[in-house]
Amino acid sequence: MATILIVDDQPDNLYVLERLLKGKGYQVLQAENGPAALQIATSQQPDLILLDVMMPEMDGFEVVQRLRDDGGTRLIPVVLLTANAPDERLKIQGLKLGADEYLTQPINNNELLARVQALLRTKQAQDELQARNVQLTALLDIVQTSTSTLDLAEVGQRLVRGAVSATQMEIGGLWLTHDNKLVCLAQEGYTPTVVQAWERITLSEHPIGVRVLQGRESIYGSTSVLFGADSPVAGEVHQAIVLPLVHRDTPLGVLHLGTRRQHTPSADELTFLRAIANAAAVAVQNARLFEETDRQRQDLERLDHEKDEFISIISHELKNPLASIKGYAGLLQRRSKKDQSLQAALKGLEVIEQQVNRMTTLLDHLRDVSQIGMDRFVIDAAPVDIAELTQRVAFEMQTTSTNHQIQIDVHDEPLIAEADEFRMSQVLSNLIGNAIKYSPGGGAIDIVVRKSSAPPSRPADIPPGEFAVITVRDYGMGIPPEGRDRLFQRFFRASNAQGRISGMGLGLYITREIVQRHGGYIWLDSNEGEGSLFGVAIPLLREAAPVDSQVERPAGTTSVAESTS
């Protein structure tokens, strides 16, 4: 039943109004002056105030104004009562200050009760609307928690805070199941004694937790009955409710809420609390899965780092015996050429040298991949003429094949970039070597070198400027459409090359890493059966510094095969 505060400096008036209201079942509070009325209204929050206008020290108008200025009492309905003759100006003044009614005594008791009931119905509707708004806001925050953060501790704190706010409880806590225990994830409002006692609860010693989790149903009642009179929470909280957190029929833990008030939750409140628990279960499960996934990711990263470290060590250690094998094979080759009796061994020695070179290249690739994975891949940059370097590498690569004719067309030179000469040589060797390898029938390989301020396919994250652009085109087997997006991933090889051409799929991965670490990019244009074009764009220095040429550069389009013959 509603609580009504009556305020009047005349004891007889208080007595009459109290008997009238109590006779209709209302709880009644009394105050004999304005200051006492404000104190009671603030501390006990009545549902309605009947307020006399004419009082000494502080009249009813000032009391109304102060009530409306206080956020805690602003919404309490106020009826102003006066025994003076009707005065329209005073009535308007009272209503402007925030009074809900202005009645002149004597007033018919039935009319007064009807006005009181009408205002109480309005107040009840407002309270229910406000409470529902608080609940929905808290529930929305709990639902959003499952998507806005995946930190389990933060999820727990937000869930408890939201549940306490939505239910207007004083305390709340969240416990998760772990190794037959309930472990506290978050709590609010508990004293240190309760926090310490309930930080980790053995399920066998907590029958309520077992009942809630096994029965998948909430339990509420007196704390002394639920947890025992000796429980640390029994002396601090009067009523409690324990709800299960269940996700897809898997119990995750319990949500505990408590209040120091005498309160039995209604059916609507229980429905709302179950909705909170269900939303909390989803948020907790998402955060748990993320934590587990994150742990697995960290474990994989650690193992991947260890693998890269192992590959780096192995590739380094294997190069020493390979160098010895290559050295002795070279020595035997020189002796075989001088000794006619050893001529038959020359072919075998050449094969040994080729295979050693192949293994050395593979180990270099593995070392580079491991260094990239460990973030130890170093670029030692200095001004380099990209045009001259491309020609030099092309001449060297022509010596590896007699079935291909490398044509190089240099449009602009010099093209000075801040680059690692060794690494850029590696890029050019990989691209030209691939062009040779993936056109096994031989034929032309066209290389174009030029300067461009608008290179093809420039990504949005590459700032504009002047670039050295190198394209390498072959007319070989090309790349099928389904393989183009993954071509620069490590260990990937196009389907039409598998089983036909040897390789591990590391060259293009390393090439892209080198190019990107120079601030450039690489692109591909290919049609299966028609060949491929690989393009590289490297930013040029704004003020080109002179670079000593290492070889004489022929002008215009040059056949490298002719130049090396």
Residue with the larger pLDDT of the pair 421 and 547: 421
Residue with the larger pLDDT of the pair 310 and 331: 331
Residue with the larger pLDDT of the pair 255 and 273: 255
Supply the pLDDT for residue 365: 78
**Rounded mean pLDDT of 171-178?**
87
pTM (2 d.p.)? 0.48
Residue 172 in contact with residue 164, Cβ under 8 Å? Answer: yes
Burial label for 333, CB within 10 Å (0-12, 13-18, 19+), is middle
Residue with the larger pLDDT of the pair 42 and 147: 42
- Given a cut of 80, whether residue 315 has pLDDT beyond it is no
Directed axis angle between helix 507-517 and helix 346-373, to 10°?
A: 50
CA atoms within 13 Å, Cβ hemisphere of 374: 18
Could you please report the per-residue DSSP string of 207-235? HHHHHHHHHT--EEEEHHHHH-TTSTTTT
Q: List pLDDT tens digits, range 429-478.
A: 999 999 999 998 889 999 999 999 999 999 999 999 999 999 999 999 99
Residue 60 in contact with residue 33, Cβ under 8 Å? Answer: no
**How distant is the alpha carbon of residue 219 from its chain centre?**
36
Residue 550 in contact with residue 425, Cβ under 8 Å? Answer: no
Tokens read off for 322: 């390979």
Residue 104 in contact with residue 124, Cβ under 8 Å? Answer: no
**Rounded mean pLDDT of 33-54?**
92
The Cα 87–Cα 109 span in angstroms is 21
Could you please report the per-residue DSSP string of 343-374? GGGHHHHHHHHHHHHHHHHHHHHHHHHHHHHT
The rounded mean pLDDT for the chain is: 83
**Rounded mean pLDDT of 113-118?**
90
Residue 449 in contact with residue 501, Cβ under 8 Å? Answer: no
Supply the pLDDT for residue 416: 95
The Cα 175–Cα 301 span in angstroms is 31
Burial label for 274, CB within 10 Å (0-12, 13-18, 19+), is middle
Supply the pLDDT for residue 141: 67
Residue 84 in contact with residue 90, Cβ under 8 Å? Answer: yes
**Rounded mean pLDDT of 91-115?**
87
Band the pLDDT of 561: cuts 50, 70, 90: low
* Residue 383 φ/ψ, nearest 5 degrees: -60, 130
**Rounded mean pLDDT of 72-86?**
85
The Cα 269–Cα 95 span in angstroms is 36
Supply the pLDDT for residue 162: 77
* Residue 253 φ/ψ, nearest 5 degrees: 165, -160
Compute CA distances 264 → 131, 222, 236, 261, whole Å.
16, 10, 17, 9
> What is the β-pairing status of strands 181-188 and 171-178?
antiparallel
Q: List pLDDT tens digits, range 477-492.
A: 999 888 888 888 877 8
At the fourth CATH level, the homologous superfamily of domain 134-293 is GAF domain (3.30.450.40)
Residue 244 in contact with residue 178, Cβ under 8 Å? Answer: no
Query: If we measure between CA atoms, which residue out of 564, 562, 550 comes closest to residue 421?
Result: 550
Compute CA distances 553 → 172, 414, 449, 548, whole Å.
80, 10, 13, 12
- Given a cut of 80, whether residue 497 has pLDDT beyond it is no
The Cα 326–Cα 355 span in angstroms is 9
Give the end-to-end CA distance of the chain in Å, rounded to a whole number.
109
- Given a cut of 90, whether residue 391 has pLDDT beyond it is yes
Supply the pLDDT for residue 559: 66
Q: For residue 409, is it left (φ>0), alpha (ψ between -120 and 50) or beta? A: beta
Q: List pLDDT tens digits, range 498-521.
A: 767 777 778 898 899 999 999 999
- The dihedral sign for the CA sequence 479, 485, 490, 492: negative
The Cα 2–Cα 27 span in angstroms is 6
The Cα 391–Cα 407 span in angstroms is 10
Task: Give domain 3-130's CATH number out of 3.50.50.60, 3.40.50.2300, 2.40.100.20, 1.20.1540.10.
Answer: 3.40.50.2300
Query: If we measure between CA atoms, which residue out of 199, 218, 222 comes closest to residue 278?
Result: 218
Q: Give me the torsion for CA of 381, 384, 390, 394, rounded to 10°.
A: -80
Containing 187, the helix (H) or strand (E) segment is strand 181-188
> What is the β-pairing status of strands 48-52 and 200-202?
unpaired
Supply the pLDDT for residue 551: 44
CATH topology of domain 382-563: Heat Shock Protein 90 (3.30.565)
Supply the pLDDT for residue 549: 46
**Rounded mean pLDDT of 164-180?**
82
Neighbouring residues of 149: CB distance < 8 A, sequence distance ≥ 6: 155, 158, 287
- Given a cut of 70, whether residue 552 has pLDDT beyond it is no
CATH topology of domain 300-373: Helix Hairpins (1.10.287)
Residue with the larger pLDDT of the pair 139 and 197: 197
Which residue is associated with the tokens 């801040």? 418
For the chain, which residues make up each domain, given as ranges?
Answer: 3-130, 134-293, 300-373, 382-563
Residue with the larger pLDDT of the pair 353 and 442: 442
Containing 139, the helix (H) or strand (E) segment is helix 109-148
Q: List pLDDT tens digits, range 243-271.
A: 888 888 888 888 888 888 777 777 777 78
Residue 388 in contact with residue 553, Cβ under 8 Å? Answer: yes
Does the bond joining 414 to the residue before it have cis omega, within 30 degrees of 0? yes
